[in-house]
Amino acid sequence: MRIPRLRSVRMTRKTLLASGAVGAVGLAGAAVAYAESGGVPLDEAGHDDAVERRRAYVKDRLAAMSLEDKVGQLFMVYAHGTSADTDDPDDVAANRDHLGADNAAAFITECRPGGIIYFNWANNVEDPEQIARLSNGLQEAATADEGVPLFVAVDQEYGTVARIAEPVTQFPGAMPLGATGDAGAAQDAAQLAGDELGALGLNLNFAPDADVNVNPANPVIGVRSFSSDPDTVAEMTSAQIMGYQTTNLAACAKHFPGHGDTDVDSHVGLPVITHTYEEWEEIDAPPFKAAIAVDADMIMSAHLQFPALDESLLPATLSEPILTGLLRDRLGYEGVIVTDSLEMEGVRTEYGDEDVPVMALQAGADLLLMPPDFRLARDAVLAAVEAGELTEQRIDASVRRLLSLKWARGLTGDPFVDPDKALESVGTEAGLAAAADIADRSVTLLRNDGTLPATAASVLVTGWGENTTARLVDAFASLGVDAQTLVTGDAPDQAAIDAAVAAAEDRDLVVAVTYKVAASSSQIDLIAALREAGAPLVSAAVGTPYDAAHLPEDAPALATYSYTAASLASLAKVIMGQGPEGKLPVDVPTAAGPDTILFERGHGLSY
């Protein structure tokens, strides 16, 4: 099904420029004003007045803040609990250990942080009404006694990184959007997502991922990237930023200066990017330049070494040449620079937890995300100011940016939401239709031997993922196909392989779900055994499409780039006859190495 473009709410750079809404507030600020005016062009005097009111707010707030309050604004932390004043013993114990306070409300009252980030493992995101009430409780604590409202943030890239589950609409994610080639769909999805997240009291999303995934071995980016093509990533990144920010949800392009060509996960180690400066300009820079061109609210730094950009080998998060010399001075970025999580090993391998926050601020960062020990980090920054390693003027510069963004996103007016409307605001008809449309247009047929489209009355779904295979069985059942599942996992042993072969004997078709297949993966053995047994077989990669390089050259292969319910429903429809429309957004090299391409970007068969 095709859904109509949301032209009444969707805006492009061209639209804004033509509207006369772009003044001193910048493109993203103009987008908000334009949207709030119902698309009526605003005169320059209106923009000037808005700018002056914002400047006055920032000046007055900054003047009223102590140094301790200013330094608190530089930090974003997580807090355990379903409510701001939780008294759950486990949450209280975790908060005491991490924050030195029983719950978020007590911590906020004492320490005045700049923001809180939600996680499911921190018990923050049980259901829409609970999330909205938690958000309100946090803001009540923050704004008491004329305090500064909080950034309430989440990592909701969708696809493989989605902290808030159903009934919030689960969009397929970045690489499926790249497979559609439709930047308008990317913008619409971001706007619909922004509306839903905003209804829960969220005002900042750490998305989109602006990395160009040119390394098939990348363990941390992969399908979080739109494409291996810099221009495609640039177009999709700017589209999503505009979509989010037109809903007043702050967006964040990540991970500067580019995390797409690494085989090390910065959560557990320190990656090194070996691109030359010229290669950085050609490959990594375009999405960030596009983000800056549409006035992205935030850009997140990466914990990686990039010798061509800083020969000292400091991680980019701690590198003045990268954050200030390159991002601020050369690219002209004036928004908020936020670090990636300071709990990650990529930034902790060489420096202590008390050193990293100070070094990040010296490098040019404004917002310090998730220090392992907040009080240690805060006290280190205060001590650095006292010792002259940081000046209060330097602190003020970051606080000004943070306060200015909070004003621009409407937090200083009314940061509260209606919890009673939270459930009806998520999983909307428009959101679900958009997710289904993206999924339908992203499923890509890489190989076919005539097996597809299938006419099977009975299907065995086997391979990776208990939830994934069960959802795919449900998708087949909705099409009237008798389907059963046998999960073999990501490393099936011989017993699991034998069981799958036996289960396939009385089935018309076998669908083998693959995920992160490498040269030594026993998933290859599963596919080979099923193929040898003679069952009509289709493989479906629900992560990266690079799996296909390791599978039989004559076996039908599909790629969904996602294991969301929408993507699996589309996969079943494609197998049973709906024509595949997706085109590869990345090059897929052969198993022998990256120098020989098996499937070029843009490849995609049809029926």
Residues catalogued as catalytic: 340
Q: Which amino acid is at 542?
A: V
Q: What angle do CA 325, 113, 107 make, to 5 degrees?
A: 155
CA distance 150 to 66: 17
Q: Find the distance separating the first CA and the last CA of the chain, reported in whole Å.
A: 18
Of how many residues is the chain composed?
A: 607
**What is the enclosing helix (H) or strand (E) of 557?**
strand 557-559
Helices (H) and strands (E) in the chain, counts: 22, 18
- Other C-beta atoms lying within 10 Å of the C-beta of residue 359: 20
Q: What residues contact 26, with CB distance under 8 A and at least 6 apart?
A: 295, 334
Maximum Cα interatomic distance, the chain, rounded to a whole number of Å: 76
The answer to whether 13 and 242 are in contact (CB under 8 A) is: yes
Rg from Cα positions in the chain: 25
Task: Return d(Cα 376, Cα 462) in angstroms, integer.
Answer: 49
Residue located via tokens 């003679």: 534
CA torsion, ordered 98, 103, 107, 108, to nearest 10 deg: 130
E strand map for 33-137? 75-77, 115-117
Q: What angle do CA 472, 473, 477 make, to 5 degrees?
A: 115
Give dist(CA 92, CA 86) in Å, integer. 7
Q: Of 534, 533, 527, which Cα lies nearest the Cα of 550? A: 527
8-state DSSP, 41: P
CB 354 within 8 A of CB 368: no
Q: Following CA atoms 518, 229, 605, 567 in sequence, which dihedral angle do they give, to the nearest 10 degrees?
A: 70
Q: What single-letter DSSP state applies at residue 322? A: I
Instruction: Give CA–CA dist 217/196, Å, rounded.
Output: 34
Provide the token pair at 435. Answer: 């997710």
E runs forming strands in 10-159: 75-77, 115-117, 151-154, 156-158
Q: Could you tell me which of 342, 214, 317 has the C-alpha nearest to residue 274?
A: 214
Residue 105 CA, distance from chain mean position: 27
CA nearest 165: which of 486, 467, 477, 558?
467
385, containing H or E segment: helix 374-387
